[in-house]
A and B are shown apart, each in its own frame.
Chain A
Amino acid sequence: MDINVKSDDLSEMENAFNDSIQAGKVIEPKDWMPEKYRKQLLRMMSQHAHSEVVGMLPEGNWITRAPSLARKAILIAKVQDEAGHGLYIYSAAETLGMDRSEMIDQLLAGKAKYSSIFNYPTLTWADIGAIGWLVDGAAIVNQTVLAKCSYGPYSRAMLRICREENFHNKQGYQILAYLMRGTLEQKEMAQDAMNRWWWPSLMMFGPSDKESPNSADLLKWKVKLFTNDDLRQRFIDRTVEQAQAIGLKVPDDKLKWNEETRHYDFGEINWDEFFQVINGNGPCNKLRLKQRNDAHSNGQWVRDAAKAYAEKKKVN
Chain B
Amino acid sequence: MEDYEQFRQVAEKNREGNVRIPSGCAICGYFSRKGNALPASDAVNAMSYMHDRSNGLGGGFAGYGIYPDFPDHYAFHVFYDNDRAREETETFLKARFDISNMERIPTRKVYGIKGAPLIWRYFGTLLPEVKAHTELDEEEYVCRSVIHINTGIKGAYVFSSGKNMGVFKGVGYPEDVGEYYCLDGYKGYCWTAHGRYPTNTPGWWGGAHPFNILGYTVVHNGEISSYDANRRFMEIYGYKCTLLTDTEVITYIIDYLHRKRKLTLSDVAKVIAPPFWSRIEKMEEQEREKLTTLRNMYAPLLITGPFSIILGYPGGMMALNDRLKLRSMVAAEKDDVVYVSSEECAIRSICPDPDRTWSPAGGEPVIVELDKECVK
State yes or no: do A and B come from one complex: no
- Residues on A lying within 8 angstroms of B by beta carbon are none
Binding site for A on B (CB under 8 A): none
